[in-house]
Amino acid sequence: MANRQTDHLFQLIQALSKSEKRNFRLYAYRSGNTGETKFVRLFDIIDRQSEYDETQIYLKEPSIKRAQLSNLKAHLYKQILASLRLLHRNHDQTIQVRENLDYAKVLYNKGLFRQSLRLLERTKNQARQSHNTVLILEIIEFEKHIECHHVTHSLPSRAEELAREASEIHEVANRTAILSNLSLKMYGLFLKAGYIRNEEDFQGVEEYFYSQLPDYKLESLSFFEKLYYYESFVWFHYIIQDFLMCYKYCQKWVDLFEETPNVTQVYPDIYIKGIHNLLATLFNLQHHRKFRETIKKLEAFGEAESARLSASDHANLQAYLFTHKINAHFMEGTFSEGVKALSGLEKSLQELEAMVDINRITLLRYKLACLYFGSGNNKKAIGYLNMIINERLSEVREDIHCFARILNLIAHYELGNDSLVDYQIRSVYRFLIKMDNMQEVQKEIFQFLRNLRRIQRDEIREAFMVLKEKLKILEKDTYLSRPFLYLDIISWLESKIEKLRVEEVIRKKFLSRQANKHFD
């Protein structure tokens, strides 16, 4: 039996919607032949499988020989892609532009050079509307090729005009590549290590970022140059935990799209991610009113553009909404309410796994674990934390992996699993040392839990209070506050001191902030 993760044809068929499957069958019979072709029968067999199983293919369709299957699968794969391309070309401007480029090449091969040039000119204007520098450059180079090698009777100034266009677009493409490279590197750095941990980290990140940042005048940049410029600053400020500046550049990212709505329709995935990052920053700033307004904006966009969004866009949108709805319950201290409201999330999470990257799924699992922990359901929290811990470290964010282990340790303590707590303390301590992720906050927590069994029952409340005061001091240090972004350990300690549930403590804090209107 083949592995589901490695069989690309199975993955593609499972990712198709009902309408896409129906369209494929119509496409397969486009020649008018009503007799089922072999690759369509193969499609139907695989479509009915919950896991890819070649043995079942041979049993259900004996006419398919083992020697044929590889070529038949490759042919089916191409046919599905071709049907999808035709289905979605009216909703994807990039596909339309490339299709017109192909038509221009056909006209060129027929010797119809002037027709080809007219089509290229219309296609170039279409590409400019979507700010697609790469396609614009490809079109211009094709135009130059035709003008250089054939008599087209174009205006005498056409050669100079094309040369000027080519120079300008090359310059834009070069700047865009430099800025997109910087954005990608900063995002990769965040995925690998998360937030900075000390002054050395800060100096290293700051020096690297500004050494790579080109000296461009922002007002002279094109749409995507500005986008990658803003993205780079978002990841930089996120890594160094400067959330006010991060908010500033997230808002610029979103505003850039809203000022050019035609581009939003072409690249809805980037716009959606911009709103997602804006929400993440607002959550870190605990700006409740703006956070709630922005969630509504994201939901409204998803509903308004539902017909235009691809399956991948829908999946990411759903993952983002789940993440921020959980964050809303964290902010408001309504953990139990969140568990009830998101009761269907577990099933949806399984469906999202095929289309959403592992880091986003891991983050959602961590958020769910925290939601269950806050509601008092430690067993459920441990279940999700174990999923994260059992993932290969090379595939998920190190910071989430580390804090999943810490929360797992605390959840076992809450359940009274003393023997497991002793083992977990040693195991997690060794892991964090190995990952170079041990800071003062973690050390204080481990020392406290290690000594807890020796503390008399009437002294436990005092011990919790001592630890809380130590951590509140550490929380004020920018470089030591990192753990509090992942786990509200102070509220957990206050729940032990006041003999309340964690969600009750956080709820009181939220209502107090709302009454004082510090943030809203």
* 40-77 pLDDT per residue, tens: 999 999 999 988 999 999 999 888 888 889 999 999 99
pLDDT exceeds 50 at position 140: yes
* Domain-located, residue 452: yes
* Domain-located, residue 278: no
The closest alpha carbon to 492, from 142, 345, 500, 338, belongs to 500
Residue 508 and residue 393 share a domain: yes
Indicate the residue among 123, 154, 185 that finishes a domain: 154
* Domain-located, residue 421: yes
Task: Sort 269 into a burial class: Cβ within 10 Å, 0-12 / 13-18 / 19+.
Answer: middle
354/219: higher pLDDT: 219
Q: How far apart are CA 428 and CA 402, in angstroms?
A: 8
pLDDT at 4: 39
3-class secondary structure for 127-163?
HHHCCCHHHHHHHHHHHHHHHHHCCCCCCCCHHHHHH
Q: How far apart are CA 430 and CA 428, in angstroms?
A: 5
Residue 83 and residue 102 share a domain: no
- Read off the tokens for 427: 């195991």
* Domain-located, residue 50: yes
Residue 99 and residue 76 share a domain: no
Residue 42 and residue 146 share a domain: no
Q: How far apart are CA 294 and CA 351, in angstroms?
A: 26
* Domain-located, residue 241: no
- Read off the tokens for 22: 């129906």
pLDDT at 22: 92
* Domain-located, residue 128: yes
Indicate the residue among 43, 58, 88 that finishes a domain: 88
Number of domains observed in the structure of the chain: 3
Task: Sort 323 into a burial class: Cβ within 10 Å, 0-12 / 13-18 / 19+.
Answer: buried
Q: Are 444 and 407 in contact (CB under 8 A)?
A: no
The closest alpha carbon to 199, from 479, 440, 484, 482, belongs to 479
* Domain-located, residue 200: no
Percent of the residues in the chain that have a pLDDT greater than 90, as a whole number: 48
Residue 115 and residue 63 share a domain: no
Q: Please state the length of the chain.
A: 520
Secondary structure class of 93 (helix, strand, coil): helix
DSSP string over 228-246: HHHHHHHHHHHHTT-HHHH
pLDDT exceeds 50 at position 318: yes
pLDDT exceeds 80 at position 456: no
Residue 487 and residue 419 share a domain: yes
Lowest mean per-residue pLDDT among 129-143, 427-441, 464-478: 427-441
Question: What digits encode the pLDDT tens for the residues 457-498?
Answer: 778 888 889 989 988 898 888 777 777 777 788 998 899 899
Q: What sign for the dihedral angle of Cα 136, 142, 144, 150?
A: negative
Indicate the residue among 119, 136, 154 that finishes a domain: 154
Secondary structure class of 387 (helix, strand, coil): helix
pLDDT at 178: 95
pLDDT exceeds 60 at position 2: no
Q: Where are the alpha helices (DSSP H) in 194-285?
A: 199-212, 223-239, 243-258, 261-266, 268-285
Q: What sign for the dihedral angle of Cα 339, 343, 347, 352?
A: negative
Residue 450 and residue 426 share a domain: yes
Residue 74 and residue 56 share a domain: yes
The closest alpha carbon to 169, from 224, 233, 117, belongs to 224
- Which residue do the tokens 């350990």 mark? 489
Q: How far apart are CA 39 and CA 45, in angstroms?
A: 10
Residue 103 and residue 77 share a domain: no
Residue 405 and residue 517 share a domain: yes
Lowest mean per-residue pLDDT among 84-93, 148-157, 371-380, 498-507: 148-157
Cβ neighbours of residue 478 under 8 Å, at least 6 residues apart?
A: 241
The closest alpha carbon to 370, from 416, 408, 412, belongs to 408
Q: Which domain holds residue 147?
A: 94-154
End-to-end CA, the chain: 57
Task: Sort 386 into a burial class: Cβ within 10 Å, 0-12 / 13-18 / 19+.
Answer: middle
Q: How far apart are CA 61 and CA 39, in angstroms?
A: 11
Number of helices (H), then strands (E), belonging to the chain: the values are 27, 0
Q: Are 311 and 17 in contact (CB under 8 A)?
A: yes
Residue 471 and residue 401 share a domain: yes
Q: Are 272 and 300 in contact (CB under 8 A)?
A: no
* Domain-located, residue 467: yes
Question: Which residue type does 467 have?
Answer: L
Q: Are 15 and 355 in contact (CB under 8 A)?
A: yes
Residue 504 and residue 414 share a domain: yes
3-class secondary structure for 294-326?
HHHHHHHHHHHCCCCCCHHHHHHHHHHHHHHHH
DSSP string over 62-91: TTS-HHHHHHHHHHHHHHHHHHHHHHHTTT
Question: What digits encode the pLDDT tens for the residues 356-367?
Answer: 888 888 889 999
